[in-house]
Homo-oligomer: A and B are copies of this chain.
Amino acid sequence: MSPSKNRILTNLSKDYEQLKELVHRDAKADDVGTLLAELTTKALDFLLSDCKQIALVSKVPGKRYFSFSLRRGEKFSRAVNLELFDPRVRNKLNSFVDGSLTKLPLPDRTRLLYTIAIAYCCASDLLKTRDQKTPATFFECLIGHLIARSFGVNPRTQVEVLHLEDEASTLPTDFIFDLGPAKPKFHIPVKTSTRERVIQVFAHQRVLDGVHGFGTFKGILICLTETKLDHKNREVIEICVPKQWVLYHRFIAPMHRFYYFDIPSRYSELTKGNPPMPIVAFSKFFEEVEDLAAGR
């Protein structure tokens, strides 16, 4: 690895470790937002100065994708949606930090959030090898901060599931947000992509429905994208299993919302199905947050 690449990696890794610590301590705190903005700036600097953009063959109707690649080298980042990625975000990160994000017009907010979510992940793809965990954890920290700030409460990562006779068990989950006594509680799995593993999301929701009664924990899946890049032929596909989703939503447990940063059209069609499934752009969360907090 070149000295400059090594320096960037060290720098980003230090920030990443600090991010995990800050989120663990107080996910909704301002310093988390500041650090997320700093990490995004550094990742964008690296991607825009040290990398080139390679057009990909999009097999996804109506969407164009590209990949970042080091100037020398064969390594590719994950696929980036051309319409949703906006390098000018670099100058707009203050709106992320000061909370005025929610006042941005929806298309701008969508691009800002997508760019923040994908920039660090792409930098990590290029700077590290076979590391799925770092981007996934970064994405969890980003979501944890945004939801905690919106609801004004910090998440837990497990939930008590009490038995009549036995000792108490706990169910490990991504996030549980509890807005307080007689207020809504949310079960929020967070995934950079779900593919066929999505059944776990519905199954966890089912356990919570079974233990605590229907509607006690509302299930909200938050997902970055369902794209998959074939590095050999540079083709991008979306891996979607809409028929399985309908089965899981009907027969395992219904979810309250499915938020995507880059919505797959085959899932967005499920909003017109029977029962209609609530698949929504994540940028709309900030408009729905009052309704959600009111139990709607």
Interface, chain A (partner B; CB < 8 A): 161, 165-166, 169-171, 199-200, 202-204, 206-207, 209-211, 243-244, 246-248, 250-252, 274
Q: Are B203 and A243 in contact (CB under 8 A)?
A: no
Contact B206 A169 (CB under 8 A): no
Residues of B within 8 A of A161 (CB): 247, 251
| Interface contacts beyond A199-B203, A200-B203, A207-B247: sample of 18 additional A-B pairs, CB < 8 Å, sorted by A | A161-B247, A161-B251, A166-B274, A169-B243, A169-B244, A169-B246, A169-B247, A170-B243, A199-B199, A202-B203, A203-B248, A203-B252, A206-B206, A206-B251, A207-B251, A209-B251, A211-B251, A252-B252
User: Is A247 a contact of B200 with CB atoms below 8 Å?
Assistant: no
Alpha-carbon gap, A69 to B243, bound state (A): 45
Give CA–CA (A251, B165) in the complex, Å: 16
Question: How many copies of this chain?
Answer: 2
Q: Give the distance to chain B from A67, nearest Cβ to Cβ, in Å.
A: 24
Chain B min CB distance to A190 (Å): 17
Does A274 contact B206, Cβ atoms closer than 8 Å?
no
Contact across chains for B200 and A252 when beta carbons are under 8 A apart: no
Q: Is the CB of B171 within 8 A of A247?
A: yes
Q: Are A207 and B165 in contact (CB under 8 A)?
A: no
Give bound CA distance, A209 to B244, whole Å.
15
